Chain A
Amino acid sequence: MAASNTGETVRVIVRCRPMNQRENDLQSQTIVSMDTQTNQVMLENLEQTNEPPKQFTFDAVYPENSITESIYTDSVFPLVESVLEGYNATVFAYGQTGCGKSYTMQGVNTPGSPQRGIIPRSFEHIFEASSVAAGTKYLIRASYLEIYNESIRDLLGKDIKAALDLKEHTDKGVYIQNLTWHQCTNVEDCERLMDKGNKNRATGATLMNKDSSRSHSIFTILTEMCSRSEVDGKEHIRAGKLNLVDLAGSERQSKTHAEGERLREATRINLSLSALGNVISALVDGRSKHIPYRDSKLTRLLQDSLGGNTKTLMVAAISPAHDNYEETLSTLRYANRAKNIKNKPHINEDPRDAQMRVLQEEINRLKQELLGAGNTNRGNQSSLTDGQVSLFVLL
């Protein structure tokens, strides 16, 4: 999938982490193979040996021996650069727990380490730019929120249990009411905020009896750059937003905690009748419809970051081990669907058959007038004058 020049599509990359200690001890088999030439991932199912491996193609694939540095250079660097130019960009990280998401996103936190994660690299990138840019003042602020069960909470707020409202302002766009923003002057500030937010995420989970890995979180860095223009001597402000989105794993969200109700986990089919809405929504297909089912606060929130000169990247993390087959398959399928996320409302046009017919008639008349009249110029002088009137009407 070539990225179009408008940059409005989602670039999807898949990274496979190496086997970990536990898997090596258990002598787990590798079921993932990647072809970096064709950007394909092949997934074997050891339970069904007569089945061919499942194949997926992405914008880029990074096998077990890859380093985060190359992922950053290939895929993330241009995104962060665009933020510094005043555009918005979003990086989605997706993957089940234990499959390498934090390995790629956070990584080894030693400056200079080839496996240092995408997030600390992004911070560094931004602050490096701000320190060398002469004549431009930078104001960098960050916010950190969590979306759980369509409820939004401020992970850096005073009351981490308070649910915040998502609103749309005619001028300012989509915003979260009362979300706190915190100024950052260096990489450490950002990392501190992220740590604090992560701790609050875990605390909140215990307090509210939920699993933090089932929520989405969004860490946003707002970079406002003020510089004096050479052209008109005035001060211009550019603002770029970098959203770092940690997506919840999807399968486990199908559980609900109704007491006494017997629920059984099984892959790929939802058991809880609360998923009935999803099943029905999936049937509705048409231009004019309204589904009163789900808000999807995540989509609303990222609306202005999912298109219109913005760059979007999804990083899907998978494990090579055979006992993660289900999770890996689920992740690859999710990432595959993400390739098609465009979130672009179709521009509806009114039916134009009648109009087209009229147009064709006009052309015919014009042809008649111009080509037919060529040989009988003088004779048609008067009729040309009349013809001109009617052409005003037609053309």
Chain B
Amino acid sequence: MTFLERYLIAVDKCYVQSLNDSETEPYKSKYEARKLFEELYDVDIGDKSDNLEKEFQTLDLIEEDDKKKFIMIQSDQQAKELSVSKKHRYLIHLLLDYHIAAIYSDTEERSEGESRLRSILTSIEQALHHPLLCSLSLNLLNQLILIRTSFEQYNDAIEIAKQTEDLYNKSLVIEPYLLREIIHIDTSIQADDRRQEFEQTYTHTLFYLAQIYGKLDQKNESANYCRLTLERQLTMFDTNHSKHFDPFDWATNCATLSQYYMTNHDFATARHCLMCADKMLENVPSTHAENDKLAERIASFKRCWVKYAVNLLSDSSDRLLQAADRDVNPNEIVRSSTTPQFQFKLSLPPPTITCSFILDYDQARQVFLFAMDKIDSAKSYYILDGFVTDHVELCQDTSQLYSKLVFFESNIDRKCKMHKRRIDLLSTLCGEISEEHYLYIMRQLLFELGECYSMLLDLKLEQKNDLNSNKTIEKISHLTKLGISTFERFLSTMNDKKTKEKPETYADEYVRPVLLAHFYIARFYSKFIDNRLENLQQSLNQYKIIVNYVDKHPNSREYIEQEYSICKEMIDLLPLKLEKLRQIK
């Protein structure tokens, strides 16, 4: 067996076979591989080729500070070390050292591994980007990044990554040999393929950086490196390396990335990512086994679009409100960028939805219709029976879309109709799913339904001022009753499953919704037109419940500060009001 063959066996054992090591002997292969690498130290390399000689013309080996080091020289320069085989032997030793050091690191002797790696680095750092050393350098630096990160020394790792970036940039004008070609240059390899492996290794560097910045909570940086990773993966698509590329994964990651930009109010970039995700999914072969996975993913991306629409409308209304508050021209505040921060190299169809902030009802309606279309389409996959959670979330999105649209609608009648739609949707769902098994969902639905009743009631009361018909009064009474029963049902979901008793104390995340529910009920009672005395008494009772709870649980006050002060005022004022009503009677 040749040296190269023995080397490749050791590599295979170290990196591929080790994946199958059992949980109880996780490093068996690595230890065996280390032995093999160590054995190769004293083995004769064999013949040399002309190619090697040529490459070594620009690589010299000197002695500095008691250490042998490689340096770059011009091809016509006189080398200090004239023997090519000596240089070659030393380089091969460094290669073996590298693998051995990596094994130390991989088998939890990281400090040992790191010091060995740094020693190798000293020998090559003055010639990092020589074609023969390039790959070794890159792999070595990557290893150091991993080790530094494992010690949570993130800033050290980032510094090393900068060196890597510099190395990579310098490598662009040369052809870096593969690691194994340090032993023997392979003339049969296409330059393209040779480059591929190097590029893949560097992609890993960027991927590590994405993670490091994530750990440092520098999200923008992290997102940028994620994007770079995706960009580089994309270069493998459409080439003869496409077997390394998975369009399904790529599309999914791209869609996920869109959600990051979306929650950061960058709709241009979010839109671009989603469009690329959709486009890439078209390249997934719909084979028999993958059919359902693909169908689910397509439906899933539609949900990303729905969230995009909801966020766009939400941000738009927020900004318009800000503009009103600050008395600024809306156009100033809502000006947005329509250019994404980056563009993946995919040919895309023209966009079907805007990425600019919305200014008026017509624009809002466009976004609304776009989103409803996605929802309807997604629902055909996420049917209620089978996908309760997903289906309900889509309905909640629908309700949110109506609620955002209401903001842009000025006509009270039409506003009422939109709230009515929400009420129909949410109340139907509440009747269709088991409260016991979908407790969280039920709570959300009931709360939102209660809010809808409240908003609709307020609108009807406004209308009553103008119309003052009996029908409206009936309607108001009806809505009030429904509002109360909805919030009461919401509160009952918090009770003990068996004893049906109210809890003494509510968990932190429920304190506000629970107290708000009482607050809403209080307000509803005060809207009854008949039986004023009894109803206002009920209203007062609700305010008392809130104040009693907060007084008993002082920590909860922060959740309901504003409403609490109103409750206290009501508790002072309402008894006076009630007294007056009694006198009138």
- Which residues of A are interface residues toward B (Cβ below 8 A)? 4-6, 8-9, 47-48, 85-87, 97-98, 167-174, 211, 213, 238, 252, 255, 257, 259-260, 262-271, 273-274, 276-277, 279-286, 288-293, 300, 303-304, 307-309, 323, 325-326, 342, 344-350, 355-356, 359-360, 363, 366-367, 370-371, 392-393, 395
Contact = CB atoms under 8 A, between A and B. Distances in A.
- Dominant secondary structure at the A interface: loop
Contact of A280 (B257, B440, B527, B536): B257
A307 B439 contact: yes
A291 B214 CA distance: 17
Given A304-B439, A308-B497, A363 B303 contact: no
B3 interface: no
B269 interface: no
B262 A289 contact: yes
B576 interface: yes
B314 A288 contact: yes
B226 A269 contact: no
Q: Which 6 A-B pairs have the closest CB atoms?
A: A173-B437, A286-B263, A292-B300, A168-B388, A308-B439, A266-B146
A161 B110 CA distance: 40
B149 interface: yes
A309 B440 CA distance: 12
A260 B16 contact: yes
A5 B505 CA distance: 6
Contacts of A213: 23
Contacts of B257: 280
A292 B255 contact: yes
A344 B493 CA distance: 14
A292 B252 contact: yes
A293 B304 CA distance: 11
B249 interface: yes
- Dominant secondary structure at the B interface: helix
Given A48-B151, A263-B19, A350-B403, A304 B249 contact: no
A283 B23 contact: no
Nearest to B219: A283
A150 to B, nearest CB: 10
A35 B549 CA distance: 36
10 contacts: A266-B150, A269-B149, A273-B203, A279-B211, A283-B223, A288-B314, A289-B259, A292-B304, A307-B439, A366-B573
B345 to A, nearest CB: 18
Contacts of B219: 283, 285
Given A170-B433, A290-B304, 15 more contacts: A98-B24, A168-B389, A169-B385, A170-B384, A173-B438, A260-B16, A266-B149, A279-B214, A283-B214, A290-B259, A293-B256, A344-B507, A349-B512, A356-B562, A393-B461
A270 B229 CA distance: 14
Contacts of A271: 146, 204
Classify chain B's interface size. Answer: 35 or more
A192 to B, nearest CB: 26
A280 B256 CA distance: 7
B201 to A, nearest CB: 9
B102 A264 contact: yes
Nearest to B386: A167
Contacts of A304: 436-439
Nearest to B584: A388
B475 interface: no
A8 B434 contact: no
A262 B17 CA distance: 10
B513 A290 contact: no
Interface string B102-145: 10011010110000000000000000000000000000000100
A9 B23 contact: no
Given A5-B505, A356-B562, A270 B573 contact: no
Nearest to A324: B108
Contacts of A47: 110-111
B257 to A, nearest CB: 5
Nearest to B249: A274
Contact of B211 (A6, A259, A269, A307): A269
A269 B23 contact: no
B242 interface: no
A290 to B, nearest CB: 4
Contact of B24 (A97, A262, A326, A359): A97
Contact of B434 (A173, A323, A371): A173
Nearest to A343: B440
B226 A290 contact: no
Interface in B483-526: 494, 496-498, 503-510, 512-513, 516, 523, 526
A87 B152 CA distance: 43
B150 A269 contact: yes
A128 to B, nearest CB: 21
A345 B19 contact: no
B464 interface: yes
A347 B434 contact: no
Nearest to A281: B256
Nearest to A165: B386
A363 B522 CA distance: 14
Contacts of B211: 269-270, 279
Given A277-B256, A292-B297, A257 B496 contact: no
Nearest to B451: A350
Contacts of B464: 393
Contact of B260 (A48, A168, A270, A283): A283
B15 A264 contact: yes
A87 B536 CA distance: 39
Given A285-B263, A349-B447, A6 B497 contact: no
B516 A349 contact: yes
Nearest to B389: A168
B6 interface: no
A344 B24 contact: no
Contacts of A5: 503-505
A274 B229 CA distance: 12
A170 B208 contact: no
A342 B229 CA distance: 33
A292 B303 contact: yes
Contact of A293 (B208, B252, B311, B566): B252
Contacts of B192: none
Nearest to A257: B19
B239 interface: no
Given A168-B388, A266-B105, A283-B226, A173 B23 contact: no
A63 to B, nearest CB: 25
A171 B388 CA distance: 10
Interface in B391-449: 397, 400, 403, 432-434, 436-441, 443-444, 447-448
A288 B310 contact: yes
A367 B505 contact: no
A326 B110 CA distance: 11
B469 to A, nearest CB: 15
A382 to B, nearest CB: 14
Contacts of A279: 207, 210-211, 214, 222, 226
B434 A171 contact: yes
A395 B526 contact: yes
A393 B465 contact: yes
B558 to A, nearest CB: 16
Contacts of A8: 507
Contacts of A168: 386-389
B470 interface: no
Nearest to A327: B108
B320 to A, nearest CB: 13
B200 to A, nearest CB: 9
B306 interface: yes
B2 interface: no
B15 A263 contact: yes
B253 interface: yes
Contacts of A167: 386-387
B147 interface: yes
Nearest to A267: B150
A263 B439 CA distance: 43
A395 B480 CA distance: 13
Contact of A290 (B307, B526, B577): B307
